[in-house]
C-alpha cells in the first residue's frame, strides 16, 4: 500500500468527519440568532451524531457488498449537498433537519478506515489504521478551530457553505485516486443487516469494544458540546474563536495515534485501551478541580484527546483482528454504538450545563468513564470464565 494513498485516505477521513463537529463552537451564535437556550441548540450536535449512527448502521455495511470507491464518492457528494442546505437554513427546524442529513451522509470516513485496513498487510494493520485514524482525529479537532474562527468573523452559515465546497472537491479527488475494490460477498441487503446483529451477539470483543468506545466518546462529546458556554462566562468571557482554538491543544492526541497503533501491534490492544481509559478519567478530574483556570483546561484537553484517541485506536485494532470479510460490518456496529454514546453525551452535557453548570458536565463525563471501566472489568471476568 503506497504511503501517498495512506496519507490521502487519512486527509479525506479527517475532512469528512470534521463536518460532524463544525457546529460545536457555533452553538452559542446559533442560539443567539434563533433566540433559544443552550438546551435548545443542544439538539443540533445530538441529531448530527444520531444521523451518523443511522448512516453507519444502514450505509457502511454496503462496503462489504458493493464497489467501495463508488460508495465513498457518492456519500461524499451527498455530504456536500447536506452542508449546503445547512448554510441556507433560516430557522432552527431547518438547521436541525440539515444537521441530521449531514450526519447520515458523512459516513465515507468509516468506509475508508476498514478499506485501508484491508488494503495493507496484516503486520502493518495497527500502523496503517493508526495513521488514517490520526487524520480523522485531527479533522475532528481542527474542525472546531476552523469553525470557531470562521463563525466569529463571517458567521456560522458561511462555515457550512465553505465545508460544502470542500466536500465537493474531495468527491472529485477520491473518484480519481482511490483504487476500485469489489467485494466477493454476495448477500441480500436485509441479510447483510441481520448479519451485523449476529456478529454483535457472537463476538465478545466487539461487544466490549463498542461499550467502552461509546462511553469514552460520550464523555468527550459532553465536554466539547458545553465548552463554548463555559468560556462565555467569567472568569473567561471568550467567544467562539477561542473555544475553537482549544481544538488545536488536542492535536497531541491525534499525533500519537500511529504510535499507539505500533504499541498495539507489538504488545496488545488490551494494554493500550487501559491507558486510554485512565487518561480520559484523569482529564475529567482535572476539569472538575481546575476547570476555572486556563492551565487546568489546557492540561485536561490534552489528557482527554490523548485518552479518547488511544481508546479508539485500541478498540479498532481489536475488531480488525477478526476476519477481514466482516470488517465493514464490524466497523458499522462499533461506530454506530460509538456515536450513540456521543449523542447521549452531547444531550446529557447540555442538559447538565443548564441545571448544574460546569460541575454537572464534569459529573456526566466522570460517570461515563466509570461505566467504561466497568466494561473493561466485565471483559476480564469473561476471559477468566473461558
CATH number at residue 40: 1.20.1250.20
Taking only the tens place, the pLDDT of each residue in 267-276 is: 677 788 888 9
Residue 180 lies in a domain: no
Question: Given the C-alpha cell 484527546, which residue does it identify?
Answer: 305
Evaluate whether 6 touches 128 at the Cβ level (below 8 Å).
yes
Reading the block at residue 364, the C-alpha cell is 456526566
User: Nearest Cα to 261, choosing from 120, 379, 369, 376?
Assistant: 120
User: What's the angle, vertex CA 259, arms to CA 273 and CA 136, rounded to 5?
Assistant: 80
Q: Judge whether 184 lies within some domain.
A: no
**Structural domain boundaries, residue 162:** 3-175+189-385
Q: Does the residue 11 lie in any domain?
A: yes
The answer, yes or no, to whether residue 304 has pLDDT greater than 50, is yes
Residue with cell 471483559: 379
Please report which confidence band the pLDDT of residue 87 belongs to, taking 50, 70 and 90 as the band edges.
Answer: very high
Residue 271 falls inside a structural domain: yes
Q: Quick one: pLDDT band at residue 172, thresholds 50, 70, 90?
A: very high
| Banded model confidence at residue 278, pLDDT cuts 50, 70, 90 | very high
Q: Report how many domains make up the chain.
A: 1
Residue 265 in any domain: the answer is yes
What is the 3-state secondary structure of 184-249? Answer: CCCCCHHHHHHHHHHHHHHCHHHHHHHHHHHHHHHHHHHHHHHHHHHHHCCCCCCCHHHHHHHHHH
Contact assessment for residue 312 and residue 1, using Cβ atoms and an 8 Å cutoff: no
pLDDT of residue 229: 85
343 CA to centre of own chain: 11
pLDDT-based confidence at 167, cuts 50/70/90?
A: very high
In a domain, 107, yes or no: yes
Q: DSSP letter at 354?
A: H
Better-predicted residue by pLDDT, 378 or 99? 99
181 in any annotated domain: no
pLDDT attached to residue 386: 45
Three cell numbers, residue 337: 454504538
pTM here? 0.73
In a domain, 183, yes or no: no
C-alpha distances (whole Å) from 71 to each of 108, 158, 174, 276 are 8, 28, 11, 32
Query: Which candidate, 134, 64, 51, places its Cα nearest to that of 343?
Result: 51
The answer to whether the beta carbons of residues 207 and 319 sit under 8 Å apart is no
The DSSP 8-state label assigned to residue 179 in this structure reads P
Give the pLDDT score at 60. 84
Cell of 128: 496503517
311 Cβ contact list (under 8 Å, min separation 6):
212, 213, 216, 273, 276, 277, 280, 372
Average pLDDT over residues 287-294: 90
**Residue 35: DSSP 8-state:** T
Amino acid at each position: 500500500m503506497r504511503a501517498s494513498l495512506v496519507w490521502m485516505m487519512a486527509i479525506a477521513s479527517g475532512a469528512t468527519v470534521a463536518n460532524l463537529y463544525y457546529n460545536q463552537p457555533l452553538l452559542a451564535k446559533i442560539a443567539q440568532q434563533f433566540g433559544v437556550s443552550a438546551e435548545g441548540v443542544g439538539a443540533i450536535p445530538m441529531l448530527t451524531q444520531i444521523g451518523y449512527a443511522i448512516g453507519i448502521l444502514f450505509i457502511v455495511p454496503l462496503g462489504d457488498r458493493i464497489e467501495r470507491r463508488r460508495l465513498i464518492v457518492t456519500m461524499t457528494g451527498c455530504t456536500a449537498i447536506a452542508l449546503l442546505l445547512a448554510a441556507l437554513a433560516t430557522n432552527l427546524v431547518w438547521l436541525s433537519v440539515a444537521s441530521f442529513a449531514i450526519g447520515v451522509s458523512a459516513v465515507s470516513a468509516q468506509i475508508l478506515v476498514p478499506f485501508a485496513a484491508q488494503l495493507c498487510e496484516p503486520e502493518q494493520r495497527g500502523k496503517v489504521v493508526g495513521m488514517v485514524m490520526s487524520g480523522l482525529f485531527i479533522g475532528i479537532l481542527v474542525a472546531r478551530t476552523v469553525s470557531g474562527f470562521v463563525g466569529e468573523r463571517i458567521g456560522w452559515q458561511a462555515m457550512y457553505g465553505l465545508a460544502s465546497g470542500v466536500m465537493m472537491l474531495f468527491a472529485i479527488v477520491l473518484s480519481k485516486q482511490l483504487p476500485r475494490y469489489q467485494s466477493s460477498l454476495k448477500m441480500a441487503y436485509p441479510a447483510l443487516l441481520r448479519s451485523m446483529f449476529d456478529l454483535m451477539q457472537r463476538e465478545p470483543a466487539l461487544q466490549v469494544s463498542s461499550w467502552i468506545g461509546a462511553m469514552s466518546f460520550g464523555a468527550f462529546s459532553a465536554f466539547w458540546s458545553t465548552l463554548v458556554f463555559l468560556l462565555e462566562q467569567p472568569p473567561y468571557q471568550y467567544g467562539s474563536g477561542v473555544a475553537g482554538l482549544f481544538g488545536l491543544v488536542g492535536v497531541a492526541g491525534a499525533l500519537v495515534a500511529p504510535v499507539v497503533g505500533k504499541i498495539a501491534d507489538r504488545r496488545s490492544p488490551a494494554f493500550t485501551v487501559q491507558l486510554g481509559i485512565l487518561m480520559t478519567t484523569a482529564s475529567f478530574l482535572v476539569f472538575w478541580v481546575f476547570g476555572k483556570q486556563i492551565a487546568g483546561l489546557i492540561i485536561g484537553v490534552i489528557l482527554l484527546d490523548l485518552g479518547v484517541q488511544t481508546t479508539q485506536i485500541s478498540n479498532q485494532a481489536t475488531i480488525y483482528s477478526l476476519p477481514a470479510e466482516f470488517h465493514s460490518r464490524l466497523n458499522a456496529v462499533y461506530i454506530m454504538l460509538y456515536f450513540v454514546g456521543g449523542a447521549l453525551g452531547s444531550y446529557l452535557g447540555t442538559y447538565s450545563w443548564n441545571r448544574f453548570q460546569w460541575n454537572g458536565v464534569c459529573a456526566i463525563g466522570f460517570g461515563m468513564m466509570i461505566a467504561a471501566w466497568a466494561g473493561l472489568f466485565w471483559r476480564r471476568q469473561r476471559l477468566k470464565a473461558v
